[in-house]
Amino acid sequence: MTELIDNPEMEDTHYGIQMASLGEDGDRLLALGHHEPKRVLAAFNRYARTVIGWPNIADDFTASAADWAGRLEQRWAVFRKPDPDDDEWDVPEYAWHADWSDPDAPGARPVTLLDVA
C-alpha cells in the first residue's frame, strides 16, 4: 500500500521556499507551493549556487531571470514513500516520490517546477 507523506523533507530552504532537485541527474527543481515567479526564480538561483555549485540556474554567467521565467510550471503533487515493488528507486537519499495530481486529490500539495536540463 502507498504511504503518503504530508510534509516531504526538502534539500534546502531559500527565501522561505523549501526546495529539492528531482531525478537522478537533478534536471528539475521543485519548490513546495505556488510562488510569484521573481521570488521562486531567486530561490532556485540561490539553490543552484549553494547546493549544486553552479554560477546560477542556467549554469551560465550570461543568463538572466527573464530567460527562465517562461520555464516555470505550477502543478499539484502527492508525495509518498517509494514503492520497491514497483521498481522505483530504492536509494536511501530518495526519501519520497512525487506523483502529479489534480488539486482535489487526497494529500495534494501545490508545487512549482523548473526544468534546468
Ranges in the chain, pLDDT < 50: none
Output the pLDDT for position 92: 53
Output the pLDDT for position 69: 84
Residue 96: what residue type? W
Output the pLDDT for position 73: 97
DSSP assignment, residue 4?
B
User: CA nearest 58: which of 10, 31, 69?
Assistant: 69
Q: How far apart are CA 78 and CA 9, in angstroms?
A: 13
DSSP 10-75: PSEEETTEEEEEESTT--EEEEES---HHHHHHHHHHHIIIII--SSTTS-TT--GGGTGGGEEEE
Output the pLDDT for position 26: 77
